[in-house]
């Protein structure tokens, strides 16, 4: 019985390594394709900037170019960080597999050495010698059967030992490969982080020029009008996805037992918020998303005296001082990360009871879509926009945007 368990262990061990390897390879190929597409888009933006005239390089369109490059670089860095973490987990799993197999080989060697010692002491069991040693026919038969089985099991152990050694060698080769891949990911991440810092410096140079140019400033206002609608559509899309997922889960409970062919929908991230604490209870006492800041554009209509324009704000704009870190105002799930002209890189977090918060004008992002985050979790850092270091912050209840100042604690 023990022997059968051991053989089953080796069989399932081999099968698990095979299928895990296939799954990992598929994920690696998907990631490579995603990274290739991001890098391709970054190269395209770089070439577009290079082809601009000297005057165009100091325009609002150039600022948007750098701004989008920063978003893509953040996305690239986030993906590389995730791959690095996954690779570290793979290394741990492979080390664990090696440890298990080494124990198995040690046990096999021990069993087989006992057999070798037995043969050395008593000689190879002969089928005919037992006839001269035993008087009872029944005992004769039992001993013959035992010796046959004993010899057969030792041969299996020897075959298994050889197979296990080969697997162990392959696992060690795999481990070396995984370590090299992790080092490569670390170097790639470091390079992209350098490129991001370089782009941030270049975008600041452009900002200094366009801040004193009224015609360029008006382009920002026009971009923000379009951006508001894009954020609203993005919120609507997230609501619809959550509704569909809820319907899928309901149908799954009803149909899974009766319909073996039933297949639920495929979604990129799990937006479930059922396990979170109440968001509505935070009204009037919510911690601010930044440590120190002042509201420079309120919710609703705002007049720009310099440009003599009136714009509608779906949230509030908070001028940030010293600490640029942006924190989540409540526990939730990161449901969208996007780039929108006028608001730059944005992160949307879904909370319980169909509430969502929006954080934009970020130049560094520390989270990925699908991340479940706690209150006060670091989302990113505020980037420099035309108005300075300003965080644009919104709160939505379903499709209706809320006044964040009503929710935030008084300072």
- Taking the chain (411 residues) in runs of 10, the rounded mean pLDDT of each run is 50 56 64 86 92 90 92 90 88 88 80 64 49 52 55 68 81 87 88 90 89 86 87 92 81 61 51 82 95 92 80 92 94 94 94 95 92 94 92 95 95 78
Are residues 116 and 23 both part of a single domain? yes
Are residues 338 and 275 both part of a single domain? yes
Phi, psi torsion values for 258, nearest 5 degrees: -95, -25
- Residue 279: CA count within 13 A, CB half-sphere: 25
pLDDT value of position 268? 52
pLDDT value of position 166? 82
Distant-in-sequence, close-in-space partners of 398: CB < 8 Å, separation ≥ 6 = 239, 354
Q: Is residue 343 part of a domain?
A: yes
Q: How far is CA 222 from CA 26, 228, 338, in A?
A: 43, 10, 19
Phi, psi torsion values for 278, nearest 5 degrees: -60, 130
Are residues 188 and 271 both part of a single domain? no
pLDDT value of position 146? 52
CB of 161 closer than 8 Å to CB of 109: yes
Are residues 243 and 343 both part of a single domain? yes
**Which pair of tokens denotes residue 233?**
């559509």
Are residues 195 and 332 both part of a single domain? no
Q: Is residue 216 part of a domain?
A: no
Q: Is residue 124 part of a domain?
A: yes
**Which pair of tokens denotes residue 304?**
């720009």
Are residues 318 and 283 both part of a single domain? yes
Point out the domain boundary residue: 210, 233, 260.
210
Are residues 7 and 74 both part of a single domain? yes
Cβ–Cβ contacts within 10 Å for residue 283, how many? 13
Cα gap 105→157, rounded to integer Å: 10
Helix H, strand E, coil C: the string for the chain is CHHHHHHHHHHHHHHHHHHHHHHHHHHHHHHHHHHHHHHHHHHHHHHHHHCCCCCHHHCHHHHHHHHHHHHHHHHHHHHHHHHHHHHHHHHHHHHHHHHHHHHHHHHHHHHHHHHHHHHHHHCCCCCCCHHHHCCCHHHHHHHHHHHHHHHHHHHHHHHHHHHHHHHHHHHHHHHHHHHHHHHHHHHHHHHHHHHHHHHHHHHHHHHHHHCCCHHHHHHHHHHHHHHHHHHHHHHHHHHHHHHHHHHHHHHHHHHCCCCCCCCCCCCCCCCCCCCCCCCHHHCCCECCCCCCEEEEECCEEEEECCCCEEEEECCEEEEECCCCEEECCCCEEEEEEEEECCCEEEEEEEEHHHEEEEEEEEEEECCCCCCEECCCCEEEEECEECCEEEEEEEEEECCEEECHHHHECCC
Residues 205, 207, 208, 213: is their CA dihedral positive or negative? Answer: positive
Cα gap 79→193, rounded to integer Å: 12
Are residues 47 and 150 both part of a single domain? yes
Q: Is residue 219 part of a domain?
A: no
Point out the domain boundary residue: 210, 234, 268.
210
Are residues 392 and 278 both part of a single domain? yes
Are residues 146 and 65 both part of a single domain? yes
Point out the domain boundary residue: 210, 242, 257.
210
Provide the domain count of the chain.
2
Are residues 235 and 204 both part of a single domain? no
Cα gap 240→368, rounded to integer Å: 21
pLDDT value of position 260? 47
Q: Is residue 8 part of a domain?
A: yes
CB of 71 closer than 8 Å to CB of 344: yes
Phi, psi torsion values for 284, nearest 5 degrees: 90, -10
Q: Is residue 363 part of a domain?
A: yes
Q: Is residue 359 part of a domain?
A: yes
Enclosing domain of residue 113: 1-210
Cα gap 335→42, rounded to integer Å: 24
**CATH number for the domain that contains residue 295:** 2.70.70.10
Cα gap 399→38, rounded to integer Å: 31
Length of the chain: 411
From the list 377, 365, 373, 367, the residue with the least C-alpha distance to 289 is 377
Are residues 273 and 153 both part of a single domain? no
């Amino acid at each position: 019985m023990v022997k059968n368990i051991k053989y089953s262990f080796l069989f399932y061990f081999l099968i698990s390594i095979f299928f895990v390897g296939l799954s990992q390879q598929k994920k690696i190929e998907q990631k490579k394709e995603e990274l290739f597409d991001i890098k391709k888009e970054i190269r395209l933006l770089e070439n577009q900037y290079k082809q601009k005239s000297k005057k165009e390089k100091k325009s609002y369109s150039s600022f948007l170019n750098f701004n989008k490059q920063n978003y893509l670089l953040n996305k690239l860095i986030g993906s590389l960080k995730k791959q690095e973490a996954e690779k570290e987990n793979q290394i741990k799993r492979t080390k664990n597999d090696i440890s298990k197999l080494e124990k198995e080989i040690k046990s096999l060697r021990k069993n087989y050495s006992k057999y070798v010692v037995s043969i050395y002491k008593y000689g190879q069991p002969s089928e005919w010698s037992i006839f001269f040693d035993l008087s009872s026919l029944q005992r004769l038969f039992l001993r013959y059967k035992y010796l046959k089985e004993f010899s057969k099991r030792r041969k299996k152990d020897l075959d298994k030992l050889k197979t296990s050694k080969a697997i162990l060698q392959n696992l060690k080769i795999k481990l070396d490969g995984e370590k090299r891949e992790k080092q490569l990911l670390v170097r790639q991440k470091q390079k992209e982080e350098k490129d991001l810092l370089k782009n941030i410096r270049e975008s600041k140079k452009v900002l200094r020029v366009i801040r004193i140019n009224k015609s360029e400033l008006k382009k920002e206002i026009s971009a923000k009008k379009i951006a508001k609608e894009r954020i609203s559509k993005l919120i609507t899309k997230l609501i619809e996805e959550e509704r569909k997922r809820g319907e899928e889960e309901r149908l799954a409970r009803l149909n899974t037992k009766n319909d073996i062919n039933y297949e639920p929908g495929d979604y990129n991230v799990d937006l479930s918020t059922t396990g979170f604490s109440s968001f509505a209870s935070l009204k009037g006492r919510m911690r601010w998303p930044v440590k120190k800041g002042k509201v420079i554009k309120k919710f609703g209509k705002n007049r720009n005296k310099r440009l003599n324009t009136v714009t509608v704000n779906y949230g509030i704009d908070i001028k940030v001082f010293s600490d640029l870190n942006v924190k989540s105002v409540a526990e939730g799930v990161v449901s969208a990360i996007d780039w929108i002209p006028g608001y730059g890189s944005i992160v949307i977090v879904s909370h319980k009871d169909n509430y969502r918060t929006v954080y934009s004008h970020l130049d560094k992002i520390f989270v990925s879509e699908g991340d479940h985050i706690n209150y006060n979790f670091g989302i990113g850092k505020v980037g420099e926009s035309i108005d300075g270091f300003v965080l644009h912050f919104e709160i939505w209840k379903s499709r209706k945007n809320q006044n964040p100042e009503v929710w935030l604690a008084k300072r």
